[in-house]
Chain A
Amino acid sequence: MRILGISCYYHDAAACLIKDGKIVAATEEERFTRVKHDISFPINAINYCLEEAGIKGKDIDYVGFYEKPLLKFERLLSQHLEMFPKSFWSFYKALPSWINEKLRVPSTIRKKIGYKGDILFVEHHMAHAASSYLVSPFKKAAILTTDGIGEWATTTLGYANGNEITIDKEIHFPHSLGLLYSAVTAHLGFKVNDHEYKVMGLAPYGKPTYYDKFKKLIRINEDGSYKLDMKYFVYHYKLTMPSKRFIKEFGPVRKREEKIEQRHKDIAASLQKITEEVLFHLANHLYKITKMENLCLAGGVALNSVANGKILRNTPFKQIYIQAAAGDAGTSLGVAFYIYNTILGKKRVYVMDNAYHGTHFSTNEIKNYLDKNKIVYLTFKDDNQLVKQTAKLIYENNVIGWFQDRMEWGPRALGARSILSNPTNPKMKEILNLKVKHREHFRPFAPVVTTEDTYDYFEADKPLPIPADFMLIVYPIKKEKRRLLPAVTHVDGSGRLQTIKKSQNKRYYAVIKEFEKLSGVPILVNTSFNIRGEPIVCTPEHAYRCMMGTGIDYLIMDKFLIARKDNPKDMWDSEKTIND
């Protein structure tokens, strides 16, 4: 039985195809269209999923959509009925897309993929809950979903047993922890629905001196719920987010090109503190009502890896699971599994313990691409040579583009489309920023560590949660190890690690182990393989173009080694075309 899940029209359009309860392919539309967080109907992602399965649209048994569009439309109308006449411009901007596409989902699906069967619509937060629980290793678990907004719900508490999921209670729009985070992201001069992770990276540079002010705009109730004081926000009737009162309280909105001052860092620190407090409060209340030891998290807020790393220490839960694509892309997977396991009642046969569900290219396809474009390259004679040479290049402080096997599902590069470098070099952060990433100075780079060595370097939870494999958890780096890892130690001594097992990615794992032989450290810098402001690379062409447009020294693509300096004819400057 084949089921296709689709999410689109809000953020991170994506498709996921499952067959008999296992993932065949799952990928985000942005990787194909090269538009970051692309929200359009994910026709490229769907076509890829069908191609991977070797089928056509007519061969699918069910299609699932990640929300109930009319419920969402009802919420939109309610907003305007409540906020009339202040909401005209927001109404004017939003309505055409509802009439042209969002209310026409069934006909769009049928027309674009040539499908005639059943289309099932599952509530957004149920799709979030399913996206985590149904692919977790747990037989029963409590479930907390938190995002910007679904139809009405912004936060839900639920539980699951076997194949059955219950959403017990929820908090409704406009009260939203996700939208609070986005409103402050906007206030700090970053892009909403994109740069929230920058605010999280900025937070450790500040002190939570604005915490009391935040307490004024969010009330935490004894029963675990929270409520925003909407006088501080305008997103329920305007296209902007913080209100004049918010600006009076927290100071003027930072313009994107303006310098980041201590005030901005303190606001970010205070926001992170209050977000964690609300999350722990919700999770503790969830434990109180479920008494379950396992916790599944989902929704955009579950991408807050700093908070995720503290949840087990601040609640009675013993184990935590978060699926690699915890945000809206993941709901395409959630709806597909919900149909299979819950609606149709089929046995759960799958645990997501790796994220390699995207596109891949054969050795021949890559060789043909290189030859056709007259690219100068070397071929490794075997895996042993590839691993040794790669580790040596990294040890010698080269920046490596690493393009191997199937692309990652979810927002993080996890060793299939990654940039790798030496974490022991105190200058590596500057080198990476100068050559490739051009990031704000405050943003940390992430380490990848072999699973069995994790506790030697990190103060991680025991047992090690699966979401650490998806780079969704931040843990403190052990004090005595921090000086060994200057390139990946954040200002507060933490690291947003990826843990990796040999069974998940043999070549990647072998390079890390080989690097350990040279440096004494089983850790690499792993950052996403992309040009600033663009999605992660998807094809050999994207990878080569990225290397030639940045300062990446070598690209290791399948068993081919391509040096930037050997191909001067294709060099260009990606910084001249940046839109970030």
Chain B
Amino acid sequence: MNNAVVFFKGFKQGFRNFSHLITDIVNFVLLFIVYFTGIGIVSIISKLFGKHFMDLKSSGSSWVVRKLKKRPIEEYYRLF
């Protein structure tokens, strides 16, 4: 009886580890594709046109003027 419990516990744990491994592999493959196609293509094309997404090198002031004040309540429902 005890042996059977130990076996099933071990089996369950092994199966769980296996499913985590599969999830990691699927995640990796999917994110690899998204990164190197989605991000990659947009990034290369943008850079060809001189577009930058972050200010890494410019000199001068780093202030971004906002004048951010209270807005209508509907604007706060948005996640952006």
Binding site for B on A (CB under 8 A): 68-71, 74, 77-85, 88, 91-92, 95-96, 103, 105-106, 118-123, 126, 152-153, 156, 158, 164-175, 221, 223-227, 230, 236, 339, 342-343
Contact = CB atoms under 8 A, between A and B. Distances in A.
Nearest to B66: A167
A226 B62 contact: yes
B40 A85 contact: yes
Contacts of A342: 70
A167 to B, nearest CB: 4
A123 B67 CA distance: 13
A96 B80 CA distance: 20
Contacts of B42: 81
Nearest to A92: B31
A149 B66 CA distance: 17
8 contacts: A81-B39, A81-B42, A81-B46, A84-B44, A92-B32, A119-B77, A122-B76, A168-B66
Given A69-B79, A81-B39, A92 B28 contact: yes
A88 B35 contact: yes
B56 interface: yes
A121 B56 CA distance: 29
Interface in B22-80: 27-28, 31-32, 34-36, 39-40, 42-44, 46, 52-57, 59-70, 73, 76-80
B62 A175 contact: yes
A79 B43 CA distance: 10
Contacts of A92: 27-28, 31-32, 35
B30 to A, nearest CB: 9
Contacts of A122: 76
B64 A121 contact: no
Contact of B63 (A83, A166, A170, A174): A170
B31 A91 contact: yes
B61 A225 contact: yes
B56 A82 contact: yes
A235 to B, nearest CB: 12
B66 A236 contact: no
What are the 8 closest A-B residue pairs judged by CB atoms, nearest first?
Answer: A70-B80, A78-B53, A84-B43, A120-B76, A167-B68, A82-B53, A70-B79, A225-B62
The main secondary structure of chain B at its interface with chain A is: mixed
A224 B62 CA distance: 9
Contact of B43 (A82, A103, A223): A82
Contacts of B63: 169-171, 223-225
Nearest to B42: A81
Contacts of A165: 69-70
B59 to A, nearest CB: 8
B43 to A, nearest CB: 4
A121 B53 contact: no
A347 to B, nearest CB: 15
Nearest to B41: A84
B31 A105 contact: no
B62 A227 contact: yes
B26 to A, nearest CB: 11
Interface of B: 27-28, 31-32, 34-36, 39-40, 42-44, 46, 52-57, 59-70, 73, 76-80
Contact of A71 (B52, B54, B59, B80): B80
B77 A121 contact: yes
A79 B53 contact: yes
B39 A121 contact: no
A83 B32 CA distance: 15
Contacts of B60: 221
A342 B64 CA distance: 23
A1 to B, nearest CB: 14
| Residue from the set B43, B52, B54 with the largest chain A CB neighbour count within 10 Å | B54
A126 B68 contact: yes
Contacts of B70: 164-165, 342-343
A186 to B, nearest CB: 20
Contacts of B39: 77, 80-81, 84, 91
B61 A170 contact: no
A366 B68 CA distance: 49
A80 B36 CA distance: 11
Contacts of B73: 120, 343
B62 A81 contact: no
A85 B57 CA distance: 18
A79 B54 contact: yes
A105 to B, nearest CB: 7
A78 B56 CA distance: 12
A546 to B, nearest CB: 33
| Residue from the set A106, A169, A339 with the largest chain B CB neighbour count within 10 Å | A169
A98 to B, nearest CB: 11
A79 B52 CA distance: 10
